[in-house]
Amino acid sequence: MDRETRVFAETHFRGLRGRLPGGASGNPDHADFIEKPDFSYADFFKGYLLPNLPCVFSSAFTEGWGSRKHWVTPSGKPNFDYLLQNYGDMVVPVANCGVQEYNSHPKEHMPLRDYISYWKEYIQESYSSPRGCLYLKDWHLCRASSAEDVYTLPVYFSSDWLNEYWDALDVDDYRFVYMGPAGTWSPFHADIFRSFSWSVNVCGKKKWLLFPPGQEAALRDRHGSLPFDVTSPALLDTRLYPTRACCGPPLEITQEAGEMVFVPSGWHHQVHNLEDTISINHNWVNGCNLAAMWCFLQQELQAVQHEIHEWRDTMPDWDHHCQVIMKSCSGINYEEFYHFLKIITERRLLTLANEVDAGKLEGASGAGLGPQQAAFDISRIAKVLALVIADPDFQRVDTSAFSPQPADLLQQLEEAITASASL
Ligand SMILES: O=C(O)CCC(=O)C(=O)O
Ligand SMILES: [Fe+2]
């Protein structure tokens, strides 16, 4: 990141005065298409990441990817032989797109070779099977094997604290491979923790239906539930969906082979594979959507509190129980969120310290995007950490074993902000 982009970003957040970036006024009718790879990180940051708007990058951006060479036949179909030879024994999660279980498709696990046998048969039987329509999704290929020869992370998406954090802990990641025949689909959702996502088609074609943040409220049914499938004719029934007509049409994107879609934070979406498709995607959080993640966690805690409110006065440690339930339902609670902020802060402080030692070499520091990015990151963490510390539910968390103490971490951040003002 250059200095001008950092100043632009900090001015942008000052202008928001703590409000979350919405993403769009009304429903945009198209997503910009970025043709040329001479598009800079600053162009993406200012044009799409900060205003929280979707865009599509042309296939030129993924030209050199190993997966686009090896996973695809010359006629553009999945290369089953290559996949079998290289990954056949790996166990993968597979969802049944014909069945709804709560708000997702039920999943089972099987070796990739079994899934590929199913897929070949499904094609031979003219895209039908007594086993239903099966979609391999959320496969953590990178955790199981090196992905160096599969793809390279585009610089635009490299400020990724979620994967940086989980890599530091070495327990999880948010990097996925999806593959499935034409007809497989992902139900209506917003991404985990209000993260951003990017998604590349290694081969095939997807249709995306996207709604800007807030628009989904009009899609709720009379009980307040979001639809599972926004294309369902049931949505036309005004007794079931009384406010449906207040929601504009979705932004529709057709993503071709090699193209890369940027999904902004909090945009609900539904995705359909129009052809046999393989895709790679990441979920990611950084300074631009950190406040949205914190808001989401507050809502998650409120939902838990609502569920067990009748025991509030009788259960000792009721607040602690809410945090335990939150961790098991959402994958993270307030303690872990604090730890996440702490780890990212420590890494950025190191980047800035090295920067001073290294005589201010732009881009030469550990975080990849340079000292200006680290300074921006620090400023965003400070803003969100101040909100966390002021939150009454966080004040009820036992922080006695936290090191450093939250107020001390905030102090460190504020000192770093002062020191980096002249960078
Ligand atoms: O490709 C899909 O089926 C879903 C992808 C998705 O939801 C995402 O990348 O956020
Ligand atoms: Fe998604």
* Contact by Cβ (8 Å): 9, 376: yes
Nearest ligand for residue 253 CA = 1
Domains of the chain: 26-284 (2.60.120.650), 290-420 (no CATH)
**Residue 16, pLDDT score:** 87
Closest atom of ligand 1 to CA, residue 199: 9
In the reported structure, the alpha carbon of residue 36 is separated from the centroid of ligand 2 by a whole-number distance in angstroms of 25
Which ligand approaches the C-alpha of residue 268 most closely?
Answer: 2
Calculate how far, in angstroms, residue 221's C-alpha sits from the geometric centre of ligand 2.
Answer: 21
pLDDT at site 36: 85
Distance 38 CA to ligand 1 centre (A): 26
Those residues of the chain that have pLDDT short of 70 are 22-25, 356-367
CA distance 153 to 158: 7
CA 21–ligand 1 middle distance (angstroms): 22
Nearest to 31 by CA among 255, 357, 324: 255
DSSP class per residue in 370-397: HHHHHHHHHHHHHHHHHHHHH-HHHHTS
Residues with CB under 5 A from ligand 2 (ion): 191
- Helix (H), strand (E) at residue 209: strand 206-211
Closest to 62 in 3D by CA, of 255, 276, 207 = 255
Q: How far is the CA of 173 from the centre of ligand 2 (A)?
A: 15
CA distances 322 to 168, 177, 262, 393, Å, are 27, 33, 34, 10
CB 42 within 8 A of CB 2: yes
CA 132, chain centre distance (Å): 28
Tell me what pLDDT residue 366 has. 39
Q: Which atom of ligand 1 is nearest to the CA of 135?
A: 3
Ligand 1 atom at shortest distance from the alpha carbon of 279? 1
CA dihedral of 344, 148, 143, 91, whole degrees rounded to 10: 160
Ligand 1 centroid from CA 240, angstroms: 27
Cα–Cα separations (whole angstroms), residue 388 to 2, 157, 171, 208: 29, 26, 25, 34
Distance 384 CA to ligand 1 centre (A): 28
Mutate to test the pocket of ligand 1, among 157, 162, 177, 178 (most ligand atoms within 8 A of CB): 178
**268, 24 in Cβ contact below 8 A?**
no
Give the C-alpha separation, 258 to 125, whole Å.
28
Model pTM greater than 0.85?
Answer: yes
Ligand 1: residue whose CA is nearest its atom 1: 271
Is 66 exposed, middle or buried (CB count within 10 Å of its CB: 0-12, 13-18, 19+)?
middle
- Listed in sequence order, the DSSP H helices in 233-390 are 290-307, 318-330, 334-357, 370-390
Phi first, then psi: what are they for 285, rounded to 5°? -130, 145
3-state SS class at 361: coil
Task: Name every protein residue with a CB atom under 6 angstroms from any ligand 1 atom.
Answer: 178, 186, 191, 197, 199, 206, 263, 269, 271, 279, 281
Instruction: Tell me which ligand sits closest to the C-alpha of residue 197.
Output: 1
Q: Which ligand is nearest to the CA of 207?
A: 1
**Closest residue to atom 8 of ligand 1, CA basis:** 197
Counting ligand 1 atoms within 8 A of each CB, the residue from 55, 195, 197, 199 with the most, and so the one to mutate, is 199
Atom of ligand 1 nearest to the CA of 180: 3
Residue nearest to atom 3 of ligand 1 (CA): 186
